[in-house]
Chain A
Amino acid sequence: MMKVVEKPTTIQDPHCEAPNLRKHEDKGLELLKYLILGVLFGIVFVKAEIISWFRIQEMFRLQSFHMYGVIGSAVVTGIISIQIIKRFNIKTIHGETINIPKKEFRKGQVIGGFIFGLGWALTGACPGPLFAQIGSGYTVVLVTLISALVGTWVYGKFSNKLPN
């Protein structure tokens, strides 16, 4: 039987902001654990009402502590976790050293951040909650998601013409 020669895949993009730094490829069922983690994450989003447009309005109006508590305690948990990983040189379950990519300063963190903030207050959702809102039955948010994809694409198309 003839072996299908695979086209060489394009190189890993060095600027991917949430990269997969694992050396061995995840295959098949190995990928299932990310789906399960996502399910748990989505449940938390709904149960803590983070996907609520009202909770985001309360946050920006400084009328409730809830969202500040959620994000603040998530950050504290994240900081402690990463310190523990570094201090005890904890490896991945496959024995790899854990890498955390360094972010470089770009003007986009200011301009793009500001633009996202405008959209966050309108939609009441950052990208994660968009998916959870759709799953919760607010199917019209599919339109918001498609618009977000268009926005991402337009950024990609013109990224080299924008100040960065």
Chain B
Amino acid sequence: MNDFINWLSQPWPWYVAGPMIGLTVPALLILGNKTFGISSSLRHVCAMCVPAGIPFFTYNWKKEMWNLLFVLGVLIGGFVATNFLANPDSIIVSEATQADLKALGVTDFGNLLPADIFSWENLFTAKGLLFFVIGGFLVGFGTRYAGGCTSGHAIMGISSLQWQSVLATVFFMIGGFLMTHVLLEPLMKLVGF
């Protein structure tokens, strides 16, 4: 049993994680005709809490309760994995990425998320404004405008062979490449790294 827990505690390789994520698609379909898509949960929360008479949020969100329970499960899963199946060693970040990020001012490479950015002390600073407030806004606005995120488009949409989802995924990547290679450096300088 201990061997099993030890084995589970290692970081899982892509060829284990990828197929498990892919199996979520048939699992949701077979369990109840549900289409995989996580960003929709954000819309359901808006519809539930602040519909404000906006047609986009005026629908029967109760029918989509399954989606909210699914993301609540993801949160609990994060807690379980971190507290009971945690990898005892530090994360191994590729040398090239470490070098690039050190040049940008990142110093913590020991955790899944760098403490230089993801800490409460940064909340009311320019760093927090960029990475939490603006970053989060772009994720919420962009995914809804695109009609889905990595799960709804890249995984569910491409799995069902829909070219619209390939297109969306290509533009996810273009946005990400532009941010990483062009905008990130000046933005990080601007916020004080």
Contacts and interface: CB of A to CB of B under 8 A. Distances in A.
Interface of A: 9-13, 16-23, 25-26, 30-54, 56-61, 63-79, 81-82, 84-85, 90, 92-94, 96, 98-106, 108-128, 130-141, 143-157, 159-160, 162
A82 B23 CA distance: 10
A117 B179 contact: yes
Instruction: Determine chain A's interface SS by DSSP, over half rule.
Output: helix
- Listed residue (A11, A16, A51, A64) with the most chain B CB atoms within 10 angstroms of its CB: A16
B172 to A, nearest CB: 4
B102 to A, nearest CB: 12
Given A19-B35, A35-B70, A121-B179, A155 B18 contact: no
Contact of A34 (B73, B151, B174): B73
Contacts of B114: 53-54
A147 B133 contact: yes
Contacts of A46: 77-78, 81-82, 85, 112
Given A18-B152, A127-B39, A157 B113 contact: no
B23 A81 contact: yes
Contacts, number: 551
Interface of B: 8, 11-43, 45-46, 50, 52, 54-60, 62-67, 69-82, 85, 87, 91, 93-94, 96-97, 100-101, 109, 112-114, 117-120, 122-123, 128, 130-162, 164-165, 167-181, 183-184
Q: Mostly helix, strand, loop or mixed at chain B's interface?
A: helix
Contact of A113 (B29, B109, B172): B172
Nearest to A76: B22
17 contacts: A18-B40, A20-B34, A38-B72, A39-B80, A42-B74, A45-B81, A61-B100, A71-B155, A82-B159, A92-B29, A118-B175, A126-B143, A143-B136, A144-B135, A147-B140, A151-B136, A155-B56
B137 A151 contact: yes
Given A37-B27, A73-B18, A124-B113, A119 B136 contact: yes
A107 B164 CA distance: 10
A103 B162 contact: yes
Nearest to B26: A81
